[in-house]
Amino acid sequence: MHSYYTENKEKFKKSLSQFMQLVKPELEKAGGKPYAALLAEIWDYYERNLLERFPYIGGDKVSGTRNLTGAYCFVAMGEVLKQYGTSMEEIGRIMVLCYERYYMKMPGLVRKAMGKMYKSPKLLNKMLLKKDAKNAANAAQNPGSFETKTQIPPEEGYDFSYHNLVCPLANFARQYGYEAYMPWLCNLDYVMFGVLGAPLYREHTCFEDGDYCDFKLKNSADPLPYWPPVFRQDNPYK
């Protein structure tokens, strides 16, 4: 285990617990046992099989670390629930409920402000160009970290677009056999943007296409529904 994860183990344990608490009834129903026992099993799996193996991609200096460590809380949850006969479909539904409740817990004014930000291409371009540079500098020191590229002008038909060029979540899934989770993890982006009222569209993913993940916003449209998951709907989006 990298020293960064060793030193911050309690922080990651607290974060996992906060996520799982949001779906306590669903976990107990799926696992057929008390929440405390299931939480202990989920943390044990996370610590032994995930935290132990996570690559160091910049630590607290980059937001991508939270993406990696947070997303794989759901993988640990899923691997434990599978032992009790829970289907991937139900695991995916619980993931969506958890993420939805997480964002719905935010004060309404905060959600409104974030949604407004995502509908301001000028502000987003300014923010993401800075993030592109920061990610590039970090990736030069920590290969395999997130790398992004803001698209200026945006792709035709959209008000804003940027690409993830490298995705540690997808790389980790391929390396350790968690490929089945990736479409469901990608669907969580639609949950976040949907709750905030921002219409996201994506036609490429690093995992499925091997090139990049595209995040495109169309302000005149309504957000896509995120359940059933976008990749199961009759559209070209992922």
Instruction: Tell me the DSSP string of 127-169.
Output: HHHHHHHHHHHHHHHSTTS-EEEE-SSPPTT-SEEEEEEE-HH
DSSP per-residue codes, 90-131: HHHHHHHHHHHHHHHTS-HHHHHHHHHHHT-HHHHHHHHHHH
Instruction: Name the residue among 78, 60, 82 with its Cα closest to residue 69.
Output: 60
- The pLDDT assigned to 205 comes to 97
**What pLDDT sits at residue 159?**
97
Phi-psi region of 32 (alpha: psi -120 to 50; beta: other; left: phi over 0): left
> Residue 114 has which token pair?
């974030």
Residue 31's pLDDT is 98
- For every one of its 238 residues, what pLDDT tens digit does the chain have, with 9 covering 90 and above? 999 999 999 999 999 999 999 999 999 999 999 999 999 999 999 999 999 999 999 999 999 999 999 999 999 999 999 999 999 999 999 999 999 999 999 999 999 999 999 999 999 999 999 999 999 999 999 999 999 999 999 999 999 999 999 999 999 999 999 999 999 999 999 999 999 999 999 999 999 998 999 999 999 999 999 999 999 999 999 9
pLDDT of residue 122: 95
Q: How many CA atoms lie within 13 A of 86 on its CB side?
A: 23
Which residues are CB-neighbours of 136 under 8 A, at least 6 positions away?
147
Residue-level pLDDT at 220: 93
| Distance of alpha carbon 127 from alpha carbon 112, whole angstroms | 18
* Nearest residue to 185 (alpha-carbon basis) of 40, 51, 88: 88
Q: Name the residue type at position 119.
A: K
User: Which of 197, 236, 215, 178 minimizes the C-alpha distance to 53?
Assistant: 178
For helices 35-45 and 9-21, the axis angle rounded to 10 degrees is 140
User: Whose structure tokens read 């989006």?
Assistant: 237
Q: What pLDDT is recorded for position 231?
A: 97
160-166 vs 200-201, strand pairing mode:
unpaired
Global confidence as pTM: 0.97
* 174 neighbors 139 (Cβ within 8 angstroms): no
**CB-side exposure of 64: number of CA atoms within 13 Å?**
27
Nearest to 6, CA basis, from 76, 62, 45, 53: 53
168's tokens: 């540690």
Task: Say how far apart CA 25 and CA 153 lie, in whole Å.
Answer: 46
